[in-house]
Structure 1
Amino acid sequence: MIKVMVVDDSALMRKIITRILNSDNEIDVVMTARDGIDSLEKIIRQKPDVITLDVEMPRMDGVETLKRLRKQFPEIPVVMISSLTTENAELTLKCLELGAFDFVHKPSSKSIDMSIESVSDKIVDRVKKAFENKDKLSNVTPILIEDKTTLEKKELKTNLTKLVCIGISTGGPNALMKLIPRLPTDLSASILIVQHMPAGFTKAFSERLDKMSKLHIKEAEDGDKCIDGRVLIAPGDFHMKVRRQGIDLVVELNKGEKVNRHRPSADILFLSAAENFGRRTLGVIMTGMGNDGAEHLGDIRKAGGYTIAQDENSSVVYGMPRTAVELDNVDKVLPLKDIYREIIDFSEK
């Protein structure tokens, strides 16, 4: 039985989340807390296996609470519950930097009950996955950056030498914040990223990652050119693919059917890259649950491109990379710390 602590300043929300979690016969909500201070006092008496934590709370918000939880109880995974506002998106990303396992966003709705019930399956799923991957918490170590840091960036070129396509999910924001800032400003490649994340969060994430990197990073817009030194992140709820437009390679966004339960889907990106850029493409599949990207990563390989997967030890959830390896669609398996070097080497070949 997975013992869970629910932390939320709303008594109604605590009741609803408790009901959702207790409806699963593998989960037992053993205690609730009204804010961060309350949770830190109660957790000493009975340690839960997993904590769900509201982002926005009085007295002590989710960010400060998470800092203290990670310091005092680093072995307990935390799943953030966040409403979709610009401020909350930024706070949620801060929590992922600090080592939260994952987050579930509450859709906007006039009825709180209906809003949270609509993501009940996700809440149960994230809690179970957090428990299953407790031993991987060392892979979501805090990212220490100064919010006001601005790095010098070179002017964007107009050419495209190589294309790097990354598919990533659970554990992704933390992993990308360790990977992308290590890439040089003169990288001879454009990077396209499918990070499973709701609409609204991808823009905030792009802006945050841009502050940390020497590359030019933005949320992708329809028609954006793929050029060396540019990183484009698929917007939440849109598939991202590439197509030829004269001599250019451009991004195309669409709201087609979900693939592997996701929109954006890494498989959509990988297939289009294989068809339009072939052997000059590097496909990278990283930490995440499920199998998105595993199948069409193989198309990049078949087209003469190169493919790598993040290894199990450094992945928060070894789902997507595992499936790709099992399908024999991967040329090399690497720990997170070595992927940046492989990207640089590929761009220079």
Structure 2
Amino acid sequence: MVTRVLVVDDSGFFRRRIVEILEADARIEVVGTAADGKQAIDQVAKLNPDVVTMDIEMPVMDGITAVRRIMSSHPTPVLMFSSLTQEGAQATLDALEAGAVDFLPKRFEDIAKDRDQAKLLLRRRIHAVARQRARPASQLATSAQAKPVARPVVVRRGQYQVVAIASSTGGPVALAQVLTKLPAGFRSPVLVVQHMPASFTPAFAARLDQQCALKVKEAEDGDAVRPGQVLIAPGGRQMTLLQSAGEVTVKVSDGDPGLHYKPCADVTFGSVASVYGGKALALVLTGMGADGREGARVLKKKGATVWSQDEASSVIYGMPMAVAEAGLSDHVLSLHEIGATLVEAVGV
């Protein structure tokens, strides 16, 4: 099956570059291009592409406005191209909240060290988004709220000393949906591993901190792990835990250079298992790939509890599917259930 793509960017050079890269794959057809957001809206209505690649800063209409309008009229998976700057991070987070599925750095050197590998990664991302044909995370979260809880969830109330969450594609919006449901008196610390570039995690943590009752910050080396606080693993680094004299602190390091994900959920989950054992509750949300599965396996061996997000509410059912299909998930939950169920399990 051929994936039909609309390429949107105000730079003719960049449009031609993306078209050339995508059409090197016989399973991808670029059905059109657009130079601004208004043209993009018109082309989506006319061509009905499977995926749209979208720039953020464009004349006539910017990419964020275009995404919002596309989602309201012709919902289509949108992959944003972003600059890895603080301003780029803010704009990309705005685009994700508007309904974009995922993003990639506009500079290919930031995607992978090898140019050919970067091109392959772009094509794979296009296929993954198109295969899922998922609605954007913002719409999934909204529509899921109307669905009743269909199954009881047995929780071990008050026995969890830490909550560890892993997410990737679709994660920023999903995490906001979960964490904003947690009250200020939430009894456990929360550790979050979201696949995200180093320049994005400070802006992401600051945005969540404004939205949540809990204190949210990007984790720093030596931070104490305390109840009522959410620590976000820094992009490009690994977050593990150290226990000394009854206190648990965060260790932030470069980690194994051979690891594909930085931060990596498997690394953090494994460390959580070592420190908290069966008193940990892990949650795997929407995302591409299988990061978190092996860490969940380690957690389960220590007696910990693992939950995963269901397919219907996931933007990309990769990471949670890997955990569920491995038989490691104690409960499979819809996104709208997770926050309230966490409060019930952990307590306030």
TM-score w.r.t. the length of structure 2 is 0.89
1:167 aligns with 2:166: yes
Aligned length: 329
Q: Which structure 2 residues correspond to residues 121-140 of structure 1 after superposition, within 5 A?
A: 121-134=120-133, 136-137=134-135, 139-140=137-138
Report what 2:83 is aligned to.
83
SS at match of 1:296: helix
The percent of aligned pairs where both chains have the same amino acid is 38
SS at match of 1:314: coil
CA distance in 1, matches of 2:131, 2:265: 24
Structure 1, residues 47-101: CA drift from partner, whole Å, max 9, x if none?
Answer: 2111000011122111111111111111x11110111121111010011111111
Report what 2:319 is aligned to.
320
Report what 1:148 is aligned to.
none
SS at match of 1:250: strand
CA distance in 2, matches of 1:279, 1:55: 44
Report what 1:21 is aligned to.
22
SS at match of 1:137: coil
Structure 1, residues 93-132: CA drift from partner, whole Å, max 9, x if none?
Answer: 01111111111012486x9xx9987632232122111111
SS at match of 2:255: coil
SS at match of 2:135: helix
CA distance in 2, matches of 1:319, 1:326: 10
Contact persistence 1:260–1:291 (CA under 8 A): no
With a CA cutoff of 8 Å and minimum separation of 6, indicate the structure with the bigger relative contact order.
2
SS at match of 1:288: coil
CA distance in 2, matches of 1:166, 1:197: 14
Report what 1:157 is aligned to.
none
| Deviation beyond 4 Å, 4+ runs, structure 1 | 114-118
Report what 1:104 is aligned to.
104
Report the Cα offset of residue 347 of structure 1.
1.7
Contact persistence 2:160–2:280 (CA under 8 A): no
The worse-fitting range, judged by mean Cα deviation, of 259-268 and 194-203 is 259-268
Contact persistence 2:160–2:281 (CA under 8 A): no
Report what 1:150 is aligned to.
none
CA distance in 2, matches of 1:265, 1:328: 21
CA distance in 1, matches of 2:130, 2:160: 43
Q: Which structure 2 residues correspond to residues 330-341 of structure 1 after superposition, within 5 A?
A: 330-341=329-340
Q: Which structure 2 residues correspond to residues 1-349 of structure 1 after superposition, within 5 A?
A: 1-74=2-75, 76-107=76-107, 119-134=118-133, 136-137=134-135, 139-141=137-139, 162-257=161-256, 261-348=260-347
Report the Cα offset of residue 45 of structure 1.
3.0
Report what 1:152 is aligned to.
none
Structure 1, residues 176-230: CA drift from partner, whole Å, max 9, x if none?
Answer: 1111001011000100000001111111111111111000001111111110110
Q: 1:294 to 1:167 in 2, by over 3 A?
A: same
Unaligned runs of 5+ in 2: 143-158
Q: 1:25 to 1:42 in 2, by over 3 A?
A: same
Q: 1:100 to 1:314 in 2, by over 3 A?
A: same
Contact persistence 2:272–2:280 (CA under 8 A): yes
Q: Kindly provide the amino acid, as one letter, of the partner of residue 49 in structure 1.
A: D
Contact persistence 2:307–2:332 (CA under 8 A): yes
Q: 1:117 to 1:62 in 2, by over 3 A?
A: farther
